[in-house]
Amino acid sequence: MKHWLYILLILFCACSSLKVDYDYDAQTDFSSFQTYNYYPDMQTGLSELDTRRLLMALDSILVSKGYKSSEEPDFFINIESREFALPQNSNVGVGIGGGGRNVGGGVSIGLPLGRSSSEREILFDFIDSQRDILFWQAICSSSYRENATPIERERLLRQIAIKILSKYPPY
């Protein structure tokens, strides 16, 4: 039953507005990594509550994949994020014009419709603690509503965690 729920969550997330790009070092032996931890001085760029929500979601998924949190981990996870406004694409043009006998003129004004939407980009770096090198990375972009409820925030951050860890390890 637990596996079906996990599969349904992955399918649900696959249909969401999350976009994730992955990259990794093909020379890395991913089977050598069994333990993880987060950088102690990590600056996520998220609120303290959102950071806690995201870390709890990541922890639950990593544990379900067989990884263990450790004070002396095989790899560290670093998370950074930034918010940005998307350019507004929809507008209405209003024009006035006239002409005749080889004389013409016109005025056009573009009026924006709605308001610009916000996006959040979260970068996940997995760093080998022994060699201090990046071996796996995911960058997730999603829509962002600052006035979202705590339940909506928790659901979105859980979806992000599921989506980014669906391709870890890459093979």
Q: How far apart are CA 73 and CA 23, in angstroms?
A: 21
**Which pLDDT value is given to residue 95?**
55
Architecture of domain 15-84+117-165: 2-Layer Sandwich (3.30)
In the prediction, which pLDDT does 86 show?
Answer: 53
Q: Is the pTM of this model over 0.75?
A: no
Residue 7 confidence (pLDDT): 45
| CB half-sphere exposure, 152, CA atoms < 13 A | 7
* Closest by CA position to 140, among listed 158, 120, 154: 120
Q: CA-CA distance, 63 to 143, in Å (whole number)? A: 27
Determine the distance from the C-alpha atom of residue 120 to the mean position of all C-alpha atoms in its chain, rounded to a whole number.
7
**So what's the pLDDT on residue 8?**
42
Instruction: Supply the pLDDT for residue 83.
Output: 85
Which residues are within 8 A (CB) of 98 and not within 5 positions of it... i.e. 6 or more apart? 104, 105, 106
Tell me, what's the pLDDT at 112? 59
pLDDT of residue 9: 43
Profile the chain (171 residues) by mean pLDDT over runs of 10 residues.
Answer: 46 63 96 96 94 97 97 97 69 56 58 64 96 97 86 95 95 81
Q: Could you give the angle at which helices 150-165 and 48-64 cross, rounded to 10 degrees? A: 40
Provide CB contacts within 8 A for 48, sequence distance 6+. Answer: none
Q: φ and ψ at 107, to 5 degrees?
A: -135, 135
**Per-residue confidence (pLDDT) for residue 118, from 0 to 100:** 77
Q: According to the model, what pLDDT value does residue 1 have?
A: 52
Question: b/e per residue, 50-62, with b = 16+ CB within 10 A?
Answer: bbebbbebbeebb
